[in-house]
Amino acid sequence: GAVVSQHPSRVICKSGTSVKIECRSLDFQATTMFWYRQFPKQSLMLMATSNEGSKATYEQGVEKDKFLINHASLTLSTLTVTSAHPEDSSFYICSTTRTDTQYFGPGTRLTVL
């Protein structure tokens, strides 16, 4: 069965607004979650590592003030895209690790008009 869930699956927003994406680990506690972004025809690129109870670690080139990550509990991490612009349109996927293997959520398609 599914290990990770995401909500929403699709979101369309206007330029300048903020969007929050939720990632939940199912049936187990996840101290670490990962956020990826995937553009069409490209592979997954790690954006940040989310740690429960502490600040997220961002990859080089990812604006931490634009992509706010909160990991307030052992089962929930959220990614907020602030002041979204059309170039932020992408497929956002979260994952968590269970016995050395990363399991991915179903993804969230963000479209910024």
Partner 1 sequence: EDQVTQSPEALRLQEGESSSLNCSYTVSGLRGLFWYRQDPGKGPEFLFTLYSAGEEKEKERLKATLTKKESFLHITAPKPEDSATYLCAVTGGGNKLTFGTGTQLKVEL
| Residue ranges that bind partner 1, judged by CB under 8 A | 4, 6, 34, 42-46, 49, 91, 93, 95, 100-107, 109
Q: Give the shortest CB-94-to-partner 1 separation in angstroms.
A: 8
Q: Which of 99, 83, 105 is nearest to 37 (CA)?
A: 105
Q: Give the shortest CB-62-to-partner 1 separation in angstroms.
A: 13
> Looking at residue 59, what DSSP letter applies?
P
Q: Give the shortest CB-4-to-partner 1 separation in angstroms.
A: 8
- CA atoms within a 13 Å half-sphere pointing along the CA-CB vector of 53: 4
Q: Which is nearer to partner 1, 10 or 14 (CB)?
A: 10
How far apart CA 53 and CA 34 sit, in angstroms, is: 14
Q: Which is nearer to partner 1, 64 or 104 (CB)?
A: 104
Tell me, what amino acid is at 53? G
Q: Give the shortest CB-33-to-partner 1 separation in angstroms.
A: 13
Q: Which is nearer to partner 1, 82 or 98 (CB)?
A: 98
Q: Residue 87: phi, psi to the nearest 5?
A: -70, -10
